[in-house]
Amino acid sequence: MADTAPVSLADFAEAARAVLPASVWDFIDGGSGTETTLAANRAALDAVAVLPRVLTGVDTPATTARLLGREQALPVAVAPMAYQQLMHPDGEAGLAAAAAEAGVPYVASTLSSVPIEEITAAGGPVWFQLYWLRDRQLVCDLLDRAQAAGATAVMVTVDVPVLGRRLRDVRNSFALPPHVAAANLPGDRDDLAHAGVPGVSAVAAHTGAVFAPALSWADLDWLRARTTSALLVKGILDPRDAARAAQAGVDAVVVSNHGGRQLDGAPATARVLPEVVTAVDGRCQVLMDSGVRGGTDVLRALALGADGVLVGRPMLWALAAGGRAGARAALDVLAAELRDALTLAGCADPAAARALRTMTGG
């Protein structure tokens, strides 16, 4: 990292861009299509004004919150993100260790470049993110491995029947380098991800071959019956889907548009979050991701009704900039920003922030 310590998550972005190959930066920074939804995520959060309370007697607020029935140091989890050894040799193991030190859950991707067993060895709370694969037996094997390794929750991603058309990757003919692989899959299952073809995203070609596009509510029911772990559904935008997921017995829904990387033209998550909260009506927790860039955004999400957020790209920036230590520094910055935001909003803790009122448009 730079000689001057980062004081915001945006500082880590600048440091990461300086050290990453341009094609890798585009892989993590880009969205799908014309990146309309990618831009909308940030604009929607910026448009949320939070009405602070005064004379509340708050001195030093607590930042702890209960996620999936367990107290965490922040109302935050590290989002699932693939192939983290693209950023730094520390990869998923380093980022998971940083999350453990910071006291927040780490969500391990199906497409991790480090096996799930090495990720849980970091010692902190780990949730396993599941992509629905064409090979049902492999799905079962991954669920069993994650549980045996100590993962306490399963987060099934439901918004990737196919990978969104990410034009930066297409233009770059992006492919994984030889030293980065999908470590949780059998040895020959990610060959396509390494096969560089002009005008083709090799990662998209790979996921197209192994992901099952026809995921259904019956599959979710099967998964709910198959696992005794807490179950989250990630990729919910329509309140009707949120209500149905809650009815199916999930423990949480994640309001997400995949960071603007799937359907370009999908709404910003901050826009639909309040409707989703109303739709689930307390039957499960509601988390939000896509566009969270600091403690004020966490406060905004809480005020809109979320129980917590997932933080994605900023953690990759920090990992690229400084490995495990960089990731820990970013989480410390985020915690400090959240404490300041809670204090300035007159909130004793994240639960109090959920009672704040919001306005849109400034």
Find out whether 166 is annotated in a ligand binding site: yes
Query: Amino acid letter at 301?
Result: A
Find out whether 261 is annotated in a ligand binding site: yes
Spatial separation of the C-alpha atoms in residues 143 and 138, rounded to whole Å: 9
Number of other residues whose CB lies within 10 A of the CB of residue 272: 22
258 is catalytic: yes
Find out whether 256 is annotated in a ligand binding site: yes
Spatial separation of the C-alpha atoms in residues 284 and 88, rounded to whole Å: 36
Query: Amino acid letter at 210?
Result: V
Find out whether 125 is annotated in a ligand binding site: no
Spatial separation of the C-alpha atoms in residues 16 and 31, rounded to whole Å: 18
Nearest to 247 by CA among 219, 281, 273: 281
Q: What is the DSSP letter of 6?
A: P
Report whether 351 contacts 61 (CB < 8 A).
no
Find out whether 289 is annotated in a ligand binding site: yes
Find out whether 144 is annotated in a ligand binding site: no
Spatial separation of the C-alpha atoms in residues 204 and 206, rounded to whole Å: 5
Find out whether 109 is annotated in a ligand binding site: yes
- Strand partners for 66: 71
Find out whether 82 is annotated in a ligand binding site: yes
Find out whether 81 is annotated in a ligand binding site: yes
Spatial separation of the C-alpha atoms in residues 339 and 64, rounded to whole Å: 10
Given 88, 194, 206, 258, the catalytic residue? 258
Spatial separation of the C-alpha atoms in residues 2 and 25, rounded to whole Å: 18
Residue with tokens 């780990």: 126
Find out whether 129 is annotated in a ligand binding site: yes
Provide the token pair at 67.
């996620």
The residues near 28 (Cβ < 8 Å, ≥ 6 apart) are 20, 81, 86, 87, 313, 316
Provide the token pair at 132.
């629905």
Find out whether 290 is annotated in a ligand binding site: yes
Binding residue ranges for FMN: 80-82, 109, 129, 157, 234, 256, 258, 289-293, 312-313
Active-site residues: which are they? 258
Residue ranges of the annotated binding site for glyoxylate are 131, 166, 261
Annotated binding site: 80-82, 109, 129, 131, 157, 166, 234, 256, 258, 261, 289-293, 312-313
